[in-house]
Amino acid sequence: MTSVPTIAFLGTGLMGAPMARRLLGAGFAVTAWNRTRAKAEALAADGATVAATAADAASKADVVVTMLENGAIVGEVLFGPDGAAAALKPGGVVIDMSSIPPAVAREHALKLAEMGLRHIDAPVSGGTRGAAEGTLAIMVGGAAETFDAIKPVFAPMGRAIRVGPSGAGQLSKLANQVIVAVTIGAVSEALLLASAGGADAGAVREAIRGGFAESRILQEHGLRMVERNFVPGGPVRLQVKDLETALDAAAEAGVTLPLLQDVRDRFVELRDGLGGSNYDHSALLLQLEALSGKRVGTGPDRLPG
């Protein structure tokens, strides 16, 4: 690998585009590819080269970064027709920053190793804001020597910490998603209680900030709830996908997570019963409001579309 690796960035949607811009801003040569070509072309003004296929992008790169919706899509983009893996030069590195099941990440690592390639699973947390500001939490699974070799690639995007071997990054992301989802539920219930009891939910949010209840969820998602801004952000459909993956991992590990099960069921009701598949995940508040017939604030809902 060259001292300043060239990068193929595959998947330039809500998260991928600002992450790729961080790399471009740090001086990396980036070739962008997205199934919807216009999303990749939007990066040309920032200095990216736009590729027609994932394989074309990978053929020019030392490092392939994937930021895709699920494990099946990652597998297709890496190993399917015009797949990136076969085009990547020997010794190249695939950094999968998507959120996928740990077992799938381990399977990809083995397949890539058989092709003479290295693999890192490195899912992220921090949302679109963290992606734009370069403050993502990056959870890394894979060989320590591979991680050490590619640390400069992570630096413009956020803070990367290796948490174990292949698949461990995905386990860390699942742990993160458990905390995020359960905390969104807790903040929703707290603000609903305050509002239904006659308090100003926005003022309550400000009053409890800085105490033991302080969190990024209270700060950012609590504000979304008070302002009733449910334009994503992190869409409900992806939250459900991650929570179901976490429940599968819990079953595999032999542990029971009842809080996670409950909040997963509420997100499913929001998705299927209330039409909230593309709402921001802070819209869990709407599911709880529907149960009680009470509402936080008096303003109109801001919804996608």
Catalytic residue among 39, 89, 111, 173: 173
- CA 122, CA 15: separation in Å to the nearest integer? 14
- CA 165, CA 113: separation in Å to the nearest integer? 14
Residue 89 annotated to the active site: no
- CA 22, CA 272: separation in Å to the nearest integer? 36
Per-residue three-class SS string for 233-251 = CCEHHHHHHHHHHHHHHHH
Query: In whole angstroms, how far apart are CA 151 and each of 65, 161, 223, 231?
Result: 13, 10, 34, 33
Catalytic sites, residue numbers: 173
